[in-house]
Amino acid sequence: MIVPNDNRLPPLNGLVLIGGKSQRMGSAKEKMHWHGKEQVYHLADMLGNYCDEVYISCRVEQFDEIADGKEMTSTYAWISDRYTDIGPMGGMLTAFEFRPDRAWLVVACDLPLVDPEAIAYLIQHRDPRRIATAFKSQQDSLPEPLFAIWEPSSLPVLRQMQAQHKLSPRRALIQHQALTIEAPRANTLVNVNTPAEADSVKAMINNKD
């Protein structure tokens, strides 16, 4: 199901975050094949059904590695982080400074169970009066910042936090009263950081199929 953007809202772009170093996994999480193709392209293709523009956020050296000998990179739009070593906030700030008039639907590459239903649900419940709309974690009821819609009004908040070396996007959501909603499925926010977690999620996907 494709959810049309409301013309009264700030236009919505998609941002796939792949800038992590995957140290605990031991291999690049964005290259894992959960759904028939590398996860980075699977997420970008899904977001393309809901967002005006979709970009893949990565480190500068990471793009050079990915682009080496691969035609696939020219099919997608990429943004290299202007901020180094500050985690996902760097990718988000870079995207906002590139298009500050846009809201950004941010998805991290280590969330293999994000699906069209969850994306559509998040968009349907979006509240542009808040700095962001995010799903609530089943484990601790805290908002998940890396599968959320961040509105243009969040840019000054993120800039201020970065200047203060407070680099947690989740803290921004909590302190500035972002809208939090229940995910349509309990396992939507399951993330994968280790080989054991990957095996567990593969079993979930196989059982679903």
Annotated binding-site residue numbers:
17-19, 29, 81, 110
Question: Residue 158: how many CB atoms within 10 A of its CB?
Answer: 21
State pTM to two decimals.
0.90
- Give the start-to-end residue ranges of the domains of the chain: 12-208
Average the pLDDT over each of 32-41, 48-57, 164-173 and give the range with the smallest value.
32-41
- Coil, strand or helix at 61: helix
Determine the number of helices (DSSP H) and then strands (DSSP E) in the chain. 7, 7
Annotated binding-site residue numbers for Mg(2+):
110
Annotated binding-site residue numbers for GTP:
17-19, 29, 81, 110
| Residue 72: per-residue pLDDT | 58
Instruction: Calculate mean pLDDT across residues 44-67.
Output: 88
Domain 12-208 has CATH 3.90.550.10: yes
